[in-house]
Amino acid sequence: MTESALIFGVESSCDETSCAVVADGRRVLSNVVSSQIDLHARFGGVVPELASRAHIEAINTVIERAMNQANVSPDQIDAVAVTCQPGLIGSLLVGLMAAKTLAWTWGVPLIGVNHVYAHAYSPALDAEPVEYPAAALICSGGHTALYRCDSPRDLELLGSTIDDAAGEVFDKVACILNLGYPGGPVIDRVAGNGDPALLDFPRSLLKGDSLDFSFSGLKTAVLYHVNGQPGGSRKPRRRKTGPHALRQAAQSGAGHGIEHFTEQEIADVAASFQQAVVEVLCVKLRRAAKQIAARTMIVGGGVSANSALRNALQVEADKLGCGLRMPPLSYCVDNAAMIAGLGFHYFQAGKIDAYDLPARATVRR
């Protein structure tokens, strides 16, 4: 078994071009991320064709910077790990071709990595190894799922979203509230000034022992609330005079389109929406942790940067007496360090791939 190795990681599954050098699956020597947020912001979401082109333009510079920052030469690299699934197919292909070229040129093994599994590995970067078994909640723009993890490499799907991903709903609700893109960070910030208990937005699939998620009803409820259609928030959660409070809200502009909402009303919707997402994610992760008698709860993916979620999960973990591992903010969003980190464990186990390794938009294994 290889105890020590330098892995070069490549990530390009969505709108971040990233390369990293990681030692022994843990020590991050470099992690360069070139974000395309400005490119996609005016469209309110990622445009796949633009994303692929931007990856092509960025990839060579990002590779060079990752090697320079790590201060290593190609002959020191032991393997190249790359995201091969899931993601936008055109974007994946750019990183995969670059990684194949590097592996062939440097004469080292190529290792394909599942992007979602890498998010579950991200809390182990620059940190102590995770104690298993662990229940991992991965919530990002494209995925929301729960896994049982018995090692960095052994993951079993326990449940996933049946419609929108959590990050996707943050982005869409931010669009409804006219807050810009990407929605997660801005809702996180704006919600800080709002009342999370004011509006009662729906929490789906909480009953029974389901570990699946559904967020599209919540998104629609926010839209209906903003437009004043029936089916929005059911009642103010704390104010006892429900109809009265709703009438008050209507008089002050709420329910007639977002342009009539005051800054405070927008903050209240953002905070109440965020609270609904956070509650669902917490309940499901706690449920999964109990079901598998987990020693650790893991959270990863872009939404794991959310401050309300991080605070709420800490409370859950303390109540359960279970460990909680959350990546630092820099490893919450897409990055190549997590790809290289997990790639090390495949390298150690001798799980390397051939040059015909395909890119897959959806997960097959």
**Pair 337, 33: CB distance under 8 Å:** no
Q: Kindly tell me which of 92 and 99 has the beta carbon lying closer to ligand KG4.
A: 92
Distance CA 189, CA 31 (A): 26
The answer to whether 9 contacts ligand KG4 (rule: CB under 6 A) is no
- Asked if residue 238 lies in contact with residue 198, where contact means CB atoms within 8 angstroms, the answer is yes
Element (H, E) at 136: strand 134-139
Helix (H, G, I), strand (E, B) or coil at 82: strand
140 touches Zn ion by CB under 5 A: yes
Nearby residues of 141 by Cβ (< 8 Å), 6 or more positions away = 14, 46, 165, 167, 168, 171, 182, 302
Q: Which stretch binds Zn ion (CB under 5 A): 59-67, 124-132, 179-187, 330-338?
A: 330-338
Convert residues 103-142 into a mask of x (bound to ligand KG4 by CB under 6 A) and - (unbound): -------------------------------------xxx
What is the footprint of ligand KG4 within residues 331-360 (CB under 6 A)?
333-334
Query: One-letter amino acid identity for 268?
Result: D
Binds 299: which of ligand KG4, Zn ion, none (CB < 5-8 Å by kind): none
Using CB under 6 A as the binding rule, whether residue 184 contacts ligand KG4 is answered as: yes
Question: Which DSSP state fits 353?
Answer: B
Which lies closer to ligand KG4 via its Cβ, residue 81 or residue 254? 81
Listing DSSP states for 228-278 in one string gives T-TTS--SBSS-S-HHHHHHHHHHTTTTS-GGG--HHHHHHHHHHHHHHHH
Q: Measured from the CB atom, is 120 or 223 closer to Zn ion?
A: 120
By CB under 6 A, name the one of 171, 195, 200, 268 that touches ligand KG4. 171
Applying CB under 6 A, among 11, 164, 188, 195 the residue interacting with ligand KG4 is 188
Residues binding ligand KG4 (CB under 6 A):
14, 140-142, 167-168, 170-171, 182-185, 188, 301-303, 305-306, 333-334
Residues lying near Zn ion in the complex (CB under 5 A) are found at 140, 334
